[in-house]
Amino acid sequence: SRSSAASDVYKRQVLRCLTTFIEHGWLRRRVNDGRYIWCGVPNSKAENQLENMADKVMPILQHLSKVTGHAADLALVNQRAALCIVDSTRTKAVGGVNLYIVGYHPSLVMTALGRAFLLAHKAPLVDVKLREIAHSGDLAERNYMGSERWLQEKQRFNKLGYSVRQYGDYIPQLLTDSVPSQAIALPLLQGKQPIGAINLVWDDKGFSIEQFVTLHLNQLNNSVEKIQQLLSDN
């Protein structure tokens, strides 16, 4: 029909405009949920920088997901100095928690992403953040800090440089509409300063953490090295 044809023409025109904006760096289309994010004025400089970093980094995470067959999340420090998931390769076709997870602030003690980021800091800064959580964090987080699992992950990171999330590391009141999954995470550094973390996530009880680490830790490490080199070149 005439109205349908006109609608198709309009859609093509809009897509051409969106493509032009993306090419000029004014827009970014998130991998996780397909939303278009404005990267130019009037956003704050800090917000623009975060989106631009994600734009550069996500092709590396997409390749990581392709070669491993598992979803990857990108968490960066936002303008409020809080760790935030900026983008993810999780889609409708990928199992696990929170398919549309962008904007979520991972716990610094109960998630692999949060621990990898937190424990990459120097000891005095780690202690400051832990005191903040002990004073005003969620009850589940405060209880977790007294658990054997917390000590286990601190020791794992200090010895091996990565953290894992087990099925029991889960905060149901903070993660609504989610099911537990497992993850392995490494910090992202700019210079020697932690700026975020990336992970690989799986929801398959057929894969133990030890098996997953053996299969994919090197690939995750390689992605971190590529990301850090990319950010240092810009």
Q: What is the largest CA-CA distance in the chain?
A: 68
Decide if pLDDT at 7 tops 50.
yes
Share above pLDDT 90 across residues of the chain, in percent, rounded to a whole number? 53
Mean pLDDT of 83-94: 80
Q: What is the pLDDT of residue 173?
A: 47
Q: Which residues contact 53 (CB under 8 A, 6 or more apart)?
A: 76, 86, 231
Q: Over the chain, what is the mean pLDDT? A: 84
Task: Give the residue with greater pLDDT, 42 vs 106.
Answer: 106
pLDDT band at 96 (very low <50, low <70, confident <90, very high): very low
Q: Which residues contact 132 (CB under 8 A, 6 or more apart)?
A: none
Q: What is the pLDDT of residue 43?
A: 56
pLDDT tens for residues 113-156? 999 999 999 999 999 999 999 998 888 899 999 999 999 999 99
Least confident of 6-20, 59-73, 138-152, 160-174: 6-20
Least confident of 38-47, 183-192, 197-206: 38-47
Decide if pLDDT at 199 tops 70.
yes
Mean pLDDT of 180-184: 86
pLDDT tens for residues 148-167? 999 999 999 999 999 999 98
Concatenated DSSP letters of 79-138? TTS-EEEEEE---TTS-SS-SS-TT----TTTSHHHHHHHHTS-HHHHHHHHHHHHHHS-
The phi, psi pair for 62, rounded to 5°, reads -65, -40
Q: Which of 135, 143, 138 is nearest to 173 (CA)?
A: 138
Q: Which of 34, 103, 69, 83 is nearest to 188 (CA)?
A: 83
Q: What is the pLDDT of residue 38?
A: 72
Q: Please give the model's pTM, rounded to 2 decimal places.
A: 0.85
Q: What is the pLDDT of residue 95?
A: 46
Q: Return the C-alpha torsion angle 218, 222, 228, 230, nearest 10.
A: -170
Q: Which helix (H) or strand (E) holds 14?
A: helix 2-23
